[in-house]
Amino acid sequence: MVAAIIGGTGMYAIKDLDLHEETISTPYGAVPIRRNDDLVFLNRHGPNHSAPPHKVNYRANIKALAQLGVKRVCATFAVGAINPDFALKVPVILDDFIDFSSGREHTFFDTMKNGVGDVDVSVPFCPVLSNVLEKEVRALGLTVRRGGVYASTNGPRFESPAEIRAYRTLGADVVGMTLCPELPLALEQGMSYAGLAFSINWGAGMTPTIELVHDDIDDIKTNMLRAMINTLAATRDDQCTPARIL
Ligand code: HPA
């Protein structure tokens, strides 16, 4: 039973784990990964962060995991906080999203060859994985926020202050550029997915200029990765309920 971690910005390596490199060929392109028998680690943005958010080959990434038999995914995201009650540097376990991205290959259900289907995203993030993840993050001594709505924008530019106010009015808590289409594609492939976001700035207009946090975050990031490894080790595929394809 193999499960996957998708590492976002700043989460490029897993220390203390013996992983070998492999390149997986998919109909959408080749995907470099690192893995052992239980765990696949995928850098979302590719080697050396070579793909900006709007150029990430999301379908190839998710297809590569599917071909390896992955059914459970924990993914990290560097985000901006737009809910003033949130705090920077406090990991958030995501529970919903709004998709503002555009112009991306966002589905596998686009040819008769792949079949047609509408994935039900009523429960976008797996409650079982999210529960265990919360416990594992806390067990490592980190504060964690349970529940957050991710506004997924196109990037690579940051937002305008009015956009941030609009997203907040619509119910978003954090903003980032990569959850969509990654999450819906994973659900289309029958995977269960938990998301752990990490706020590195306040949204545009909430501070005079965007200031990215760089200090004192290495330990938090290491522990976030550890918590995801522990979560995947403590769960099994058959405990999770994949999204339905209608
Ligand atoms: N906006 C969009 N994406 C981001 C941000 C932001 O403020 N911070 C980190 N990723």
Mean pLDDT, all residues of the chain? 95
Q: Residue 121: its pLDDT value, please?
A: 97
Site of tokens 């700043």: 10
Q: Residue 145: its pLDDT value, please?
A: 98
Test site for ligand 1: of 54, 79, 200, 214, most ligand atoms within 8 A of the Cβ: 79
Site of tokens 């492939």: 189
Q: Read off the pLDDT band of 154 (50, 70, 90).
A: very high
CATH superfamily of 3-239: Nucleoside phosphorylase domain (3.40.50.1580)
In this predicted structure, the answer to whether residue 78 has a pLDDT above a threshold of 90 is yes
Find residue 174's DSSP bridge partners.
Answer: 81, 150
Q: Which atom of ligand 1 is nearest to the CA of 204?
A: 7
Q: How many CA atoms lie within 13 A of 187 on its CB side?
A: 23
Characterize 187-219 residue by residue with b for buried, 16 or more Cβ atoms within 10 angstroms of its Cβ, and e for exposed.
Answer: bbbebbbbbbbbbbbbbbbbeeeeeeeeeebee
Give the Å distances, CA to CA, from 222 to 19, 90, 147: 16, 13, 21
Q: What is the dihedral of CA 131, 136, 138, 141, to 10 degrees?
A: -170
Ligand 1 centroid, distance to 78 Cα (angstroms): 7
Nearest protein CA to atom 9 of ligand 1, as residue = 79
Q: Read off the pLDDT band of 158 (50, 70, 90).
A: very high
Confidence (pTM): 0.97
**φ and ψ at residue 223, rounded to 5 degrees:** -70, -30
Length of the chain as a residue count: 246
How do residues 185-241 score in pLDDT, each as one tens digit?
A: 999 999 999 999 999 999 999 999 999 998 888 999 999 999 999 999 999 999 999
Q: Residue 111: its pLDDT value, please?
A: 83
Ligand 1 centroid, distance to 45 Cα (angstroms): 15
Pocket of ligand 1 (CB under 6 A): 78-80, 153, 158-159, 175-177, 200-201, 203
Q: Read off the pLDDT band of 75 (50, 70, 90).
A: very high
Closest by CA to 199, choosing from 150, 156, 161, is 150
Average pLDDT on 139-168 reads 97
Q: Residue 244: its pLDDT value, please?
A: 95
Domain positions in the chain are 3-239
Nearest protein CA to atom 7 of ligand 1, as residue = 80
In this structure, what token pair is assigned to residue 147? 């529940």
Judge contact between 182 and 130, C-beta under 8 A: no
Judge contact between 58 and 185, C-beta under 8 A: yes
